Structure 1
Amino acid sequence: MKVKFCGFTRIEDIKFALSINVDYIGIVLFEKSKRFVPLNRLEIITKTIKEGKYIGVFVNEEIDNVQEIYFKYNLTFTQLHGDENNEYVETLIKKGVNVIKAFRVKDTKILEEIKETPAKFILLDAFKEDEYGGTGRRINEEILNYLLNNIKNKKIFLSGGINKDNIG
């Protein structure tokens, strides 16, 4: 199992996360998020803490911007947490970008979308109207179990409401 913490804005928090063996550090690059990190701050973070494996979180960003940021800041992954379609995902993959496609899970109908995505890595997050993530909500356990039992050929990240009492 790999662990990704997301929403970091402070260097000291990233250092602490790495000290407890967090595998991936999520940096939100979506301006409307309360955890938004501007590019000048991302540069400071990635130059100060070189050992981090960073995931840039994007929402409906221009493909060229995602690609440029991914390579310029040596990100490990891009996490697409918006309404990006399969063509968008495929374009980034063809450009050499490692993609995690996020899915906001409301019910089991999302399985077809998950099966169709060209992304090899997916993130399952609880659905909340008008929010693209970071809600802290857990996915309904029955729905989550159904998806986990039926998703094939994908590496899965889980998000939302994860804590020491429900992970393991």
Structure 2
Amino acid sequence: MNVRVKFCGLSRPEDISAAIAAEAAYVGFVFFPKSPRCVSLDTARALALSVPPGIAKVALTVDADDTTLDAIVNTVPLDMLQLHGHESPERVSALRSRHGLPIMKAVGVSDATDLEALDTYGKVADQLLVDAKPPKGADLPGGNGLAFDWRLIAGRRWPVPWMLAGGLTPANVAEAIRLTGARQVDVSSGIESAPGVKDAGLIAAFAAAAKGA
């Protein structure tokens, strides 16, 4: 199976080099101040300019306003926006039109009642990110190292491409792919030696496990 991997929360040139070596399909930059992976516009621009053609550059935002999103899009060369907050379907459609970029909408899942939102957002977004719902009171909407019951989405399909996220590591990603049939996976905390610090060895191991699934 040809599994496409997204490495998210990259913040240093060596992270980009490791992702390129691991044949990443996507690299993600976080623009959420509460995250230990948050980068400035200037840092993100420099990193994005070092990414070769063929690897999609994704900006992760959380309930960002128009001014913030305009600054990101106008400064950083991007291929996609990832909305990881409580953006409504109407907001997704509006931003897609405003910026002319594909939208990936993250949807948190903890039980079967959360699956309806995937159907709803699948009608307005270009891709879905099926993530673990954060615990109540969590500071971060993702990147918490938590997984959900992957059997909940086994065999399910949506109108647009989707990506599995939430608690994935080099040790469990192959099993996650086997249980869900995911053709795309996203990892952030699972390839870190400390919060926000990516590890080149873990990046390589994750890619090898995902692509060998």
User: Under a length normalisation based on structure 2, what TM-score does the superposition of the two structures give?
Assistant: 0.71
- 1:163 partnered with 2:166: no
TM superposition shift of 1:64: 4.4
- Structure 1 runs (4+) deviating above 4 angstroms are none
Partner of 1:141: 150
3-state SS in 2 of match to 1:28: strand
Matched AA of 1:94: S
Conserved 8 A contact 2:45-2:77: no
3-state SS in 2 of match to 1:88: helix
Distance in 2, Cα, partners of 1:13 & 1:103: 26
Total equivalences in the alignment: 165
Distance in 2, Cα, partners of 1:50 & 1:31: 27
Distance in 2, Cα, partners of 1:54 & 1:23: 9
Q: Residues 9-88 of structure 1: matches in 2 within 5 Å? A: 9-51=11-53, 52-88=55-91
3-state SS in 2 of match to 1:78: strand
The percentage of aligned residue pairs carrying the same residue is 28
TM superposition shift of 1:67: 4.3
Distance in 2, Cα, partners of 1:47 & 1:103: 29
Matched AA of 2:36: K
Deviation readout 1:49-83 (Å, 9 max, x if unpaired): 45452110000101343244235422111110011
Partner of 2:210: none
Give the 3 Å change call, closer, same or farther, for CA 142–49 of structure 1 in structure 2.
closer
3-state SS in 2 of match to 1:150: coil
- 1:8 partnered with 2:17: no
User: Under a length normalisation based on structure 1, what TM-score does the superposition of the two structures give?
Assistant: 0.89
**Structure 1 residue runs without a partner (length 5+):** none
Higher relative contact order (CA 8 A, sep 6+): 2
- 1:109 partnered with 2:118: no
Partner of 1:89: 92
Supply the RMSD in Å over aligned alpha carbons.
Answer: 1.8
**Structure 2 residue runs without a partner (length 5+):** 175-212
Deviation readout 1:78-113 (Å, 9 max, x if unpaired): 110011111110001222121000011111112221
Conserved 8 A contact 2:105-2:127: yes
Partner of 1:122: 128
